[in-house]
Structure 1
Amino acid sequence: MGIWTLPKFISPRTLSDKGIMGMNRRNIDYISRYNPRRLYPLVDDKLQTKRIALEAGVTVPELIGTIGFQHQVRHLADMVKDWPGFCIKPAKGSGGKGITVIVRHDRQYYTKPSGVEETIDDLERHVSNILAGLYSLGGKPDVALIEALINFDDSFEGYSFEGVPDTRVIVFRGFPVMAMMRLSTDASDGKANLHQGAVGVGLDIGSGRAIRAVQFDLPVQCHPDTGRELCELQVPDWETLLNLSASCYEMSGLGYLGTDMVLDRLRGPMLLELNARPGLAIQTANGTGLLPRLRRIEALNSRGMSVAERVDYAREHFSIGDEHPLGAARARRVA
């Protein structure tokens, strides 16, 4: 039985009444208005994002190296030989496209989270495709980043399948307004991409606890592969994560952005990437619309507020608590 039901047909007026933001409104009223185009390269290029993050003191995954030219591809094996696992990703990719994760290797076979084994020829071919722009925005020539793997935090055991869960936070004018955790599944091939079948879990801004979960836009109670009950999910070190996300406003200069954070058991919360055009599925995962929260921030005189003050404001005014299905299920379990 599902934990959340929706009418079969929902009119645009009903969506508007619920504060649901559509793509046109997002693009015109928020992205175009609050995100200067000159700043897009800072977030569209993961290498530049990593640079500005390090300058701002924000923790990011360790960079093993980069490959920007075809003649460098043959050095890939030497580049990763001392790393038991690594990740290859396009600097200008989007939506998780072009990312290849290797969890172990013996220099002959390179094993993906699914257990599929690749050869160095396979990986070199993949890097060549990245350089050719196969996964980049607009199909432009790209650079391949090779990064160290995230040390999976034990608190998320059973919540993700063959992949590291990440937390998307929508930050508006420096205020974290909505959050969700994306959990990889067998259907998503170990990637935290909702369109490919990852589970999206809406998170209470006040506490970092699960309030609702969906897969393919339909409600779910348990992880489809591990069976773990999603109502038990609680993101550790939540305040630190929110503060890091909120600080990306000053770091990037973007007024409306998505921050993708992960929790490393050794280094704590760290920034994976920024997105100047964050998707809208976070509303489905949370079961509520963004517009009321965005309008509240627009009406607020926030000049001079510190990162901590903005986070405190968001936690006070946008907390949902136990009023949604997963939160209610958690409350019953505690009782």
Structure 2
Amino acid sequence: MAINWPISPRRLRELGIVGMNQRNGQYIAEMNPRRYYPLVDDKLLSKELAEEAGLNVPALYAVIRTPHEIRNLPKIVAGHEEFVIKPANGAGGDGILVIDGRQSESPPVFRKSSGKPASLDEIGLHLSNILAGAYSLGGRPDAAMIEYRVQFSPLFEKISFQGVPDIRTIVYRGYPVMAMVRLPTTQSDGKANLHQGAIGAGVDMAKGCTLDGVSHNRHVTHHPDTHEPVSGVNIPGWQSLLEMAARCGDITGLGYLGVDVVLDRDLGPLILELNARPGLSIQVANGEGLRHRIERVDRHVDYLDRTETAAERADWSRENLAPMNL
């Protein structure tokens, strides 16, 4: 169901829309102990945490921590035609550089996901900016990760532009409560980032099927580049994806969490990132607010006399958090 803006306060309450103040004060501040923030703010720690729990993540090729180590870049990428560079403490997708091939060997020139060339010197400058904190939370000095580039799954081929879509799931008290697929566009430069112009398509929690979407907080039904409808795509292994998201709540100790998963063509689901402050556009993508679903989880958990497994929590979410027709 589409949310048509502007919208009255009464309608916002009916839809259960969570605003920024409520999210920050009631869910993030109360449900996320600050001592656990580094586990998700630092992508290196998140990757290690997931691997220790037996969850799949993109392979890490190298970590650049000092300007001196940038000179090792030719050796690091020598055996890789494709790779991704990202700041360990970045936010909102800023600072991520995706290389999807080489344009020449001598001198080495790579090709970015946008199709534009990138020399080793340009990539080295990008690494320097990451180390200087250009993309980190609070502008603090950072580290740069060089890792496996996820191979595009054909599942979303008709409703995505160049980049790799991902699936964002909000987990509350260990229960997946809402999900969306983030679809890259020309405007987002092939990145699955809503702030840069990607589309967020809601997902039916029961069926794992995409719904209509949102772009810049506006309801959309078709992808602007491919002109294909974004709804009606069935996500394979939906139960397993929800279980994976539920387990991320367990390993981080956070009660309100965003889990980003990508579907790799060869390796299947991979955890891309964890977020202690997930945004609220997911509500517009689903045409429904988070509050009603969160309240249902609270009633369920408060009634229980035991802790459910990740599989049981995923089952419950599918049975009890289907879209509402308000």
TM-score range, shorter chain: over 0.9
Do residues 314 (structure 1) and 317 (structure 2) align? yes
CA distance in structure 2 between the partners assigned to 1:298 and 1:24 by the alignment:
20
For structure 1, the residue ranges without an aligned partner over 5 or more in a row are 325-335
- After superposition, give the CA deviation of every residue in 1:122-173 in whole Å (9 maximum; x if it has no partner): 0000000000000000000000000111121122212210100000000001
Alignment partner, residue 220 of structure 1 = 220
SS at match of 2:170: strand
SS at match of 2:164: coil
Residue pair 2:243, 2:314 contacting (<8 A) in 1 also: yes
SS at match of 2:125: helix
Alignment partner, residue 83 of structure 2 = 86
Alignment partner, residue 305 of structure 1 = 308
Do residues 57 (structure 1) and 54 (structure 2) align? yes
CA distance in structure 2 between the partners assigned to 1:15 and 1:5 by the alignment:
10
- After superposition, give the CA deviation of every residue in 1:270-322 in whole Å (9 maximum; x if it has no partner): 1001000000000000000000111111122343211111111100011239x
CA distance in structure 2 between the partners assigned to 1:266 and 1:142 by the alignment:
31
Displacement of 1:5: 6.2
Residue pair 2:214, 2:284 contacting (<8 A) in 1 also: yes
Residue of structure 2 aligned with 1:103, choices 97, 100, 103:
100
Displacement of 1:232: 3.0
Q: CA RMSD in A?
A: 1.5
For structure 2, the residue ranges without an aligned partner over 5 or more in a row are none
**Structure-2-length-normalised TM-score:** 0.95
SS at match of 2:159: coil
Displacement of 1:12: 3.1
Structure 2 CA distance for partners of 1:5 and 1:178, relative to 1, 3 Å: closer
Residue of structure 1 aligned with 2:16, choices 13, 16, 19:
19
SS at match of 1:53: helix
Alignment partner, residue 295 of structure 2 = 295
CA distance in structure 1 between the partners assigned to 2:249 and 2:3 by the alignment:
35
Alignment partner, residue 151 of structure 2 = 151
Equivalent pairs: percent with the same residue? Answer: 50
Count of aligned pairs: 320
SS at match of 1:232: coil
Bigger mean CA offset, 162-171 vs 15-24: 15-24
Bigger mean CA offset, 208-217 vs 287-296: 208-217
Bigger mean CA offset, 18-27 vs 218-227: 218-227
Alignment partner, residue 332 of structure 1 = none
SS at match of 1:124: helix
SS at match of 1:304: coil
CA distance in structure 1 between the partners assigned to 2:156 and 2:230 by the alignment:
11
Displacement of 1:100: 0.3
Alignment partner, residue 333 of structure 1 = none
CA distance in structure 1 between the partners assigned to 2:261 and 2:162 by the alignment:
18
SS at match of 1:66: strand
- After superposition, give the CA deviation of every residue in 1:177-223 in whole Å (9 maximum; x if it has no partner): 00000000000011111111101100011111112212112122221
CA distance in structure 1 between the partners assigned to 2:117 and 2:207 by the alignment:
40
Residue pair 2:99, 2:113 contacting (<8 A) in 1 also: yes
Residue pair 2:178, 2:205 contacting (<8 A) in 1 also: yes
CA distance in structure 1 between the partners assigned to 2:164 and 2:236 by the alignment:
15
Do residues 35 (structure 1) and 32 (structure 2) align? yes
**Structure-1-length-normalised TM-score:** 0.92
Residue pair 2:153, 2:263 contacting (<8 A) in 1 also: yes
CA distance in structure 1 between the partners assigned to 2:9 and 2:124 by the alignment:
47
SS at match of 1:278: coil
Displacement of 1:231: 2.1
Residue pair 2:239, 2:315 contacting (<8 A) in 1 also: no
Residue of structure 2 aligned with 1:76, choices 73, 78, 98:
73
Residue pair 2:3, 2:287 contacting (<8 A) in 1 also: no
CA distance in structure 1 between the partners assigned to 2:10 and 2:75 by the alignment:
58
Displacement of 1:121: 0.5
Alignment partner, residue 248 of structure 1 = 248
Alignment partner, residue 209 of structure 2 = 209
CA distance in structure 2 between the partners assigned to 1:269 and 1:304 by the alignment:
26
- Equivalence map 1:132-281=2 (5 Å): 132-281=132-281
Bigger mean CA offset, 159-168 vs 229-238: 229-238
Bigger mean CA offset, 44-53 vs 73-82: 73-82
SS at match of 1:299: helix
- After superposition, give the CA deviation of every residue in 1:213-256 in whole Å (9 maximum; x if it has no partner): 12112122221111222123221111111110111011111111
CA distance in structure 2 between the partners assigned to 1:157 and 1:114 by the alignment:
16
